[in-house]
Amino acid sequence: MTHFKSFGVLLSVVSLATAAMSAQSAPAGKPAAAKRSAPRTSWGDPDLQGVWTSDGEMGLPFERPSQYGTKQVLEGEELEEALEQRQEQRVASAPVAGGETGAGPTHWFESWTGKSSRTSMVIDPPDGRVPALTAEAQQRAAARAAAQAAHGPADSYEDRALWDRCITRGVPNAAFPTLYNNNSRIVQSPGYVVVMYEMVHDARIVPLDGRPHVSQKIRAYEGDSRGHFDGDTLVVDTTNFHPKTNYRGAGDTLHLIERFTRTAAGTLQYDVTVDDPHTFVEPWTARLNLTPQSQLFEYACHEGNYAMKHILSGARADEAEAAKNRRAPCNEGRGEE
């Protein structure tokens, strides 16, 4: 598969970096830390490596339901009631979860048993709600809607989302749970961290050497990432997003600050702060608690992307039928000559 070959190249890059930079192990004479809550790599960085899943957060609302106010965690009967409501919502949404092509019955989804006690993924602002859009962002949204209204949703493959086209789920979307296969892999070497999302098999190479971001003229679907360790936490700053990026209304002005922290319980805490004054009236932060996963499951996006063909061919069939119906009244009432 092509994506496995691509990942193999990435692993080769990481391996070469490891060999070339092995001398970066803890310098002689450097005092050892008094106490470390996270395991360390052989060269001394916090060890974040492994396969991680967000399945445990499946069904958790992204924004907090208003009835919970600023409460971040539920317990007892209140938690049981919330879990029951989430399950009912998942069952109700399953028939249309895959859009036009459907996504199968509920027993196909291995991750629909998440039982997080949290009330939302958004943790800041305190009410767990995404801040309002700026006037500039509202104007962009209106312009985007007008452009989409000018033609059908399937006139061309370019009218479909980047995920439909097997290009990318985008950052930070790829980190958050969806229908299934909510897994990612982290690989490290001295000076680099690679974060791979198997859903559309995206791989982000994050340098840790303090280099500046690339020129603003260079844009990418997943932006340009630069990282550093702050204690036990990997901090990743990402800018330079492509203009076709659309994360909750944010485009090429999207700016993310992500934090990956290995916890004493063996989980990985992922926080992402969206700091985009061109889109939101204030910064906001969402959190995921990731748990270890034994392996990645293949997501053969291009190989299995019959949905794109069917969506476009279905739209052409609808157009042909509509054209036929428009012509039909012209022949009504005419006898044979």
Work out the average pLDDT over 71-82: 93
Lowest mean pLDDT among 156-160, 186-190, 225-229, 268-272: 156-160
The reported pTM is 0.78
CATH topology of domain 37-58+131-326: Lipocalin (2.40.128)
Which pLDDT value is given to residue 32? 40
Instruction: Provide the pLDDT confidence category of residue 191 given band limits of 50, 70 and 90.
Output: very high
Instruction: Provide the pLDDT confidence category of residue 330 given band limits of 50, 70 and 90.
Output: low
Radius of gyration of the chain (CA): 24
Domain ranges across the chain:
37-58+131-326
- What are the tens digits of pLDDT across the range 121-177? 999 999 999 999 999 999 999 998 888 788 778 888 888 888 888 888 889 999 999
Report which of residues 94 and 303 the model is more confident about.
303
